[in-house]
Every structure is written in C-alpha cells, then in structure tokens.
C-alpha cells in the first residue's frame, strides 16, 4: 500500500497575491494584477514582468549578511507557516527537520547592483555579502532564520528546481534521516534572467498567452512558496513524483515530449492512481511555441482531452526556479476545503485563439469546478532547460 506524506502547511507570496487567503481569492477568479512594465531590467527596452504582491519583512540584524529580496520573499512565505514549523520543532527537534529549497537566480539582483557600484566607484557597497547571491545561501538563510540544525541544501535545476525538492525531501524522510522537511522554492526578479530570455527571443511584449496560436514567449515572474512535509497525515497529501532527464537540448524541449510524458506516467505510478482519477492538471505552459507544442502532445497522450488543465503562468509569469513550488501551492489551495469550498479550478487565461497544430486539451474556463468523488488527485508539470522534467501529484483522501 502506498504511504503518502502530509503537506500540513503552506505559505506563499506571488504575483497573484500574498498569503493563502488572498492568493486563493485572486487565483480562482483569474488575475493579472502583478503584471508590470519595467525599464530597468533589459537595456533599452521596457519589459513586462510579473512582480510579487505584498510587503516582505525586514530581516533581523543578525542575518544582515543574507539581506536580499530573494531571502526576504522566502521569509514572507516562511512567516506564514512559522507556527506550524514551531509545532514540528516541538514534535521532532531542530535537528530532525530538513530544509530543501529550489532556486535559479538566488539574490543575483543585489550582486548586479553591487557590481555596478564597484565599476563606478572601485568599491563594493557597504552591506553587500556574496552569500546573498550564492545558490546554497537560500537554504542556509532559511535554516538560520528558523533556527534549524538538520540537513539543508538547495536544488538548482532551472525551472524544475523547487518541484525536485519534494522528491529529495521525501527520500530523506523515508531514509529515516529526518522526520519532516521545509520544502519549496523562491526566485526574484533580476536583470540577468529577462536579458537572457530576450537574447533567446523568448520574451513576449504581452502577458503570457499559453497554448494560443498567437503565443510568442514568456513573461518572467517572481514568487516564493514553502510547505511543511511530514509523515503525519494531513488534508493535502504529497502522493507522487516522476522525474526524467531526456537531455534533448540545452534550451529546447524534446518535440515528441517523451521525457515529459514519462515523468507524468511515473508520477501516476508512484501515486498509485490512474490518469482517469486526476481531477486537474497544472500545465507547465510557458507560452513559448516549442514548450506548448511538446506539452500539449504529452498531456494529451496521458490524459486525453477530458481532464481539465490550465497554465497559471498567464497570471504569475514564469517564476523559474520557484515555478514548481508556486504551482504546487496552487494545487494545495485547490485541494484545501477551507480555501476552495466550491471546488473551483484555476482558470486558463488566454485570448481563446485555438492552435489547430496543438494536440487538443480541455482548458479550464473561469467558473469551472472539479467533482469531489472523495479521494482527489491533481498533477503539476515542471519542465526545465536541459530536459529536466518533473511531475508532482498532490491530493487529498476521502473525508
């Protein structure tokens, strides 16, 4: 019999909102409130990005070396579940809780600003510390912020980073090395990312328009989402994960979608459920021509065209290393009875222009709902450069 882990708590800050209540309200009715035009990210160009809504906390003076927006966003998400974390510390001890997080850029925005200051003045600015932009600094900061002393490390596999963190944390728990884990991810806006995607010709001048015949690229976004993962059962469960690495190309997905398809099938096997039991699929859905063509084919081959799907990147932009965690947070909210008593689905925001070259999918419309048959399972896709593919299955048991 498959034994699931409980996801007893979740905290989030994103372009959809800050905190579970606000994010749920905005998510299910569809919003683009976080979309902003910025002139300071790509030289000579205004670029549309998706900024996280809401304030971030001031860090304690003792943690000043880690003071960057990336870590402040993480702190905002952690603060939302701090009482739950304190309860886990009381149950398990500070050395028995792991911190496994994903990111792709960490605090590189502060590194960019510091380097510009050094070029202009010959001196690094006061208060800048290289740990702010180290990839591993994310989990080190979280551990220090929470006062934990167990295993702590960061996953950096581009856009699958924070989805893969779930699998790593589960292995640590199943191996008996820890009893619980803080899992999730964060990425904040910087100059490097939109400039890089602009060089690839992958940034759209309009909000992301996934699976449309008019789609022309991504919107870069930022978010943080964290979860408390434990052996104890809870309403929302971590049911399964599928991970593949097809290594088709450094930046382009396999057009046949074979690695993506196998990741979904492995996640279903791991969860012990069939495709017909999945009530909703959160698509990776970047709105690039190649991703959406590949993903529509892979999802259609696994689920057909009856399972409701949507890409929430039309609301959040592509939050990169945080995408897996951010979209798992949306699954968590969709499954949580308190936050979604009407069984609503995140809508697919787009221009409605179907692309006849794509495999047909049932894209969720505003107001669509899932049927509660007792046990409910939902799947989320995260596909990264280099062919790193992850599918997560979250669910809830029958009441």
- By CB atoms closer than 10 A (0-12, 13-18, 19+), residue 309 is buried
Handedness of CA 143, 146, 151, 154 (dihedral sign): negative
Q: Residue 253's pLDDT is what? A: 78
- Rank 41-45, 122-126, 173-177 by mean pLDDT and report only the highest: 173-177
Look at residue 131 and tell me whether its pLDDT is greater than 90: no
User: What is the DSSP track for 79-130?
Assistant: HHTHHHHHHHHHHH-GGGEEEEEE-SSTTHHHHHHHHHHHHHHSSPPTT--G
Q: How many residues does the chain have?
A: 399
Task: Read off the tokens for 376.
Answer: 């409910």
Top pLDDT among 133 and 16 is at: 16
State yes or no: pLDDT of 88 exceeds 90.
Answer: yes
Buried-state track 315-354, b at ≥16 Cβ within 10 A, e below 16: bbbbbbbbbbbbbbbbbbbbbbeebbeebbbbbbbbeeee
Is residue 63 predicted with pLDDT exceeding 90? yes
- Residue 249 above 80 pLDDT? no
Stretch 65-83: mean pLDDT? 97
DSSP assignments along 60-73, one per residue: PGGGGGG-SHHHHH
| pLDDT confidence bin for 1, thresholds 50/70/90 | very low
In whole angstroms, give the CA distance from residue 308 to residue 293. Answer: 18
Segment 366-385 shows an average pLDDT of 93
Which residues are known catalytic residues? 159, 284, 318
Average pLDDT over residues 267-276: 97
- Does the pLDDT of residue 2 top 70, yes or no? no
The three state secondary structure string of 285-322 is CCCCHHHHHHHHHHHHHHHCCCCEEECCHHHHCECHHH
**203: confidence class by pLDDT, cuts 50, 70, 90:** very high
Token digits of residue 92: 């398990």
Average pLDDT, the chain: 95
Q: Distance between CA atoms of 283 and 289, rounded to whole angstroms?
A: 14
Residue 334 banded pLDDT, cuts 50, 70, 90: very high
Beta partners for residue 98, in sequence order: 181
Place of tokens 């009482």: 83
Domains (range + CATH), the chain: 5-396 (3.40.47.10)
What percent of the chain is predicted at pLDDT more than 90? 89
Pairing of strands 376-384, 278-282: parallel
């Amino acid at each position: 019999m498959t034994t699931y882990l409980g996801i007893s708590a979740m905290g989030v800050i994103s372009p959809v909102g800050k905190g579970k209540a606000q994010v749920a309200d905005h998510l299910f009715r569809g919003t683009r409130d976080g979309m902003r035009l910025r002139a300071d990210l790509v030289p000579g160009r205004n670029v549309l990005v998706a900024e996280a809504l809401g304030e971030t906390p001031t860090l304690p003076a003792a943690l000043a070396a880690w003071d960057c927006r990336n870590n402040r966003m993480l702190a905002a998400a952690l603060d939302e579940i701090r009482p739950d974390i304190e309860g886990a510390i009381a149950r398990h001890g500070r050395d028995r809780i792991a911190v496994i997080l994903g990111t792709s850029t960490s605090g590189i925005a502060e590194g960019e600003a510091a380097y510009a200051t050094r070029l202009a003045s010959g001196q690094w600015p006061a208060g800048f510390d290289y740990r702010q932009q180290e990839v591993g600094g994310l989990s080190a900061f979280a551990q220090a912020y929470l006062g934990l002393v167990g295993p702590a490390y960061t996953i950096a596999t581009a856009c699958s980073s924070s989805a893969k963190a779930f699998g790593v944390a589960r292995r640590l728990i199943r191996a008996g090395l820890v009893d619980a884990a803080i899992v999730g991810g964060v990425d904040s806006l910087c100059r490097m990312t939109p400039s890089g995607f602009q060089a690839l010709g992958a940034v759209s001048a309009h909000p992301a328009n996934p699976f449309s015949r008019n789609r022309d690229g991504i919107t870069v976004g930022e978010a943080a989402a964290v979860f408390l993962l434990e052996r104890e059962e809870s309403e929302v469960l971590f049911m399964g994960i599928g991970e593949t690495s097809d290594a088709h190309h450094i930046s382009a997905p396999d057009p046949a979608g074979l690695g993506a398809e196998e990741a979904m099938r492995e996640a279903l096997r791991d969860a012990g459920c069939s495709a017909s039991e999945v009530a909703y699929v959160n698509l990776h859905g970047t709105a690039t021509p190649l991703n959406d063509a590949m993903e529509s084919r892979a999802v259609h081959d696994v689920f057909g065209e009856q399972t409701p799907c949507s890409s929430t990147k039309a609301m959040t932009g592509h939050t990169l290393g945080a995408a897996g965690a951010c979209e798992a947070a949306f699954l968590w909210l969709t499954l949580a009875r308190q936050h979604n008593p009407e069984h609503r689905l995140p809508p697919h925001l787009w221009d409605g222009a179907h692309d006849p070259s794509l495999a047909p999918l049932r894209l969720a419309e505003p107001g669509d709902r899932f049927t509660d048959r007792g046990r409910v399972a939902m799947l989320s896709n995260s596909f990264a450069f280099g062919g790193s593919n992850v599918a997560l299955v979250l669910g809830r048991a029958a009441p």
